[in-house]
């Protein structure tokens, strides 16, 4: 797969090879310049220094504590931002269980540290890992917020050391937790600027699926121009993003779906072929579609007994990439078949990867994919939007499996 983005040749194999050098920064991308608030500009001109707004004591004794705002305190170190409340709304998991275990609570507003920004969240994406966390099967990594939510979009209102240029910028970000809230801390290394052509609700639906598909289909799976690939869950957030990226980068994408209606939706989005796995054997269907050649890559989120069937769909030298295991974490495969046909079994998780890795992936996406976003050629497929306080209803819709594309929570901020 090769393409030209801004007259820069792109080859994912080249990027993947470079990434083996953990000390190498793949892309140096300067963010857009941010215009400071008029007041900040006056202070900067007068003092010749940057100023910071930090949390301080509440200033309105007549309002309930939950609604009080922090008073501005000016000092050196970061650009002045808007007044930030001491507390915020957030969705908490009361105890492992069903959607009813999600409850709206008040939490202290987090503060960004070095290399971090505080984002006033406009929207947060809802993903299946959030459901697993709610059930008690996917705890946050050490140091991450226990508030669910792995992707957000909003406006940077405060920064830690070294990120002052981002104040006022619209960003979307991949986070390790904390997204279901009015404010969320995000590493600068996982933030992407949101162009005007993209609504913040749309931007919130992109980081988790975009990072996941890019890493697993293009890097670990080495999908390249002209390849045919099989993606299960064709109308999920992952599946719809794989279809969209496949169209941009020259892939023929075969998907499986759970109904004829979903198959039709996948075709309308750009899938080359869609298989209703409830009424057809996807292995036979893939073989017929490819004239028995098979596919170059399988992107699998099902696991269990699907793995052996997926291997039957692969061409010689094919790659099987596991990203989830909805039908169980144990699979039985014929090792001799792997050897004879030179097949590759691989997979990955994203949430627990270190920040350096995530930042390098962000840089790759900024260089190779984000120009399509900025050019209004790549947007997420949106299913339904729920207000933050209806997080339980959002989870119910995801678990029902009726959605096509991404579900998001909106804070109204």
227-254: per-residue pLDDT in tens? 999 999 999 999 999 999 999 999 999 9
pLDDT higher for 50 or 392? 392
Is pTM beyond 0.75? Reply is: yes
Q: Burial level of 177, CB count in 10 A (0-12/13-18/19+)?
A: buried
Q: What is the tens place of the pLDDT at every residue in 22-31?
A: 333 333 333 3
Average pLDDT over residues 309-326: 96
309: its two tokens: 């069937």
Average pLDDT over residues 374-378: 97
Task: Report the pLDDT value the prediction gives residue 21, as an integer from 0 to 100.
Answer: 33
- Tell me, rounded to whole angstroms, the distance of Cα 396 from its chain centroid: 20
Cβ(372)–Cβ(249) under 8 Å? no
**What backbone torsions phi and psi does residue 107 show, to the nearest 5 degrees?**
-130, 155
Q: What is the tens place of the pLDDT at every residue in 71-91?
A: 332 223 344 447 899 999 999
CA separation, residue 361 to residues 117, 248, 251, 354, 366 (Å): 19, 18, 21, 11, 9
Assigned superfamily of 31-205+354-410: Medium-chain alcohol dehydrogenases, catalytic domain (3.90.180.10)
Assigned superfamily of 209-347: NAD(P)-binding Rossmann-like Domain (3.40.50.720)
Q: For the chain, which residues make up each domain, given as ranges?
A: 31-205+354-410, 209-347
Q: What is the tens place of the pLDDT at every residue in 325-357?
A: 989 999 999 999 999 999 999 999 999 899 999
Q: Give the pLDDT band of residue 161 (cuts 50, 70, 90).
A: confident
Distance CA 183, CA 91 (A): 11
Report percent pLDDT > 90 for the chain.
77
Would you tell me how many other CB atoms lie within 10 Å of the CB of residue 291? 7
Non-local (6+) Cβ contacts of 61 within 8 A are none
Average pLDDT over residues 167-183: 97
Helix (H) or strand (E) holding 15: helix 12-18
Non-local (6+) Cβ contacts of 101 within 8 A are 93, 94, 95, 134
Average pLDDT over residues 218-227: 97
């Amino acid at each position: 797969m090769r393409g030209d983005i801004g007259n820069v040749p792109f080859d994912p194999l080249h990027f993947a090879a470079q990434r083996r050098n953990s000390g190498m920064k793949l892309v140096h991308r300067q963010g857009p310049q941010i215009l400071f608030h008029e007041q900040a500009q006056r202070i900067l001109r007068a003092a010749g220094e940057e100023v910071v707004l930090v949390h301080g004591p509440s200033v309105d004794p007549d309002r309930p504590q939950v609604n009080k705002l922090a008073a501005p305190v000016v000092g050196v170190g970061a650009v002045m931002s808007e007044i930030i409340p001491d507390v915020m709304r957030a969705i908490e998991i009361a105890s492992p269980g069903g959607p009813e275990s999600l409850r709206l609570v008040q939490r202290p507003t987090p503060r960004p540290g070095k290399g971090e920004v505080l984002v006033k969240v406009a929207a947060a994406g809802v993903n299946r890992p959030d459901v697993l966390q709610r059930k008690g099967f996917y705890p946050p990594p050490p140091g991450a917020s226990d508030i669910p939510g792995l992707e957000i979009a909003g406006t940077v209102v405060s920064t830690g050391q070294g990120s002052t240029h981002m104040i006022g910028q619209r960003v979307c970000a991949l986070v390790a937790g904390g997204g279901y809230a009015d404010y969320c801390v995000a590493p600068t290394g996982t933030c992407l600027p949101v162009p005007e052509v993209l609504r913040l609700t749309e931007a919130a639906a992109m980081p988790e699926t975009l990072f996941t598909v890019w890493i697993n289909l293009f890097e670990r799976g080495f999908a390249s121009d002209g390849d045919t690939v099989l993606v299960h869950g064709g109308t999920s957030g992952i599946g719809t993003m794989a279809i969209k990226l496949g169209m941009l980068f020259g892939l023929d994408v075969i998907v499986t779906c759970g109904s004829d209606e979903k198959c039709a939706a996948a075709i309308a989005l750009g899938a080359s072929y869609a298989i209703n796995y409830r009424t057809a054997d996807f292995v036979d269907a893939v073989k017929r579609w490819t004239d028995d050649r098979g596919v170059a890559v399988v992107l699998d989120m099902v696991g269990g007994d699907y793995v052996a069937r997926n291997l039957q769909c692969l061409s010689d030298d094919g790659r099987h990439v596991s990203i989830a295991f909805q039908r169980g974490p144990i699979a039985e495969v014929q090792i001799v078949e792997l050897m004879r046909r030179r097949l590759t079994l691989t997979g990955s998780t994203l949430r627990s990867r270190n920040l350096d890795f995530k930042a390098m992936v962000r840089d790759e996406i900024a260089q190779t994919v984000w120009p399509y976003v900025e050019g209004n050629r790549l947007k997420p497929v949106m299913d339904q939007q729920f207000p933050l306080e209806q997080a339980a209803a959002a989870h119910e819709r995801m678990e029902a499996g009726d959605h096509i594309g991404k579900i998001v929570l909106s804070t109204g901020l």
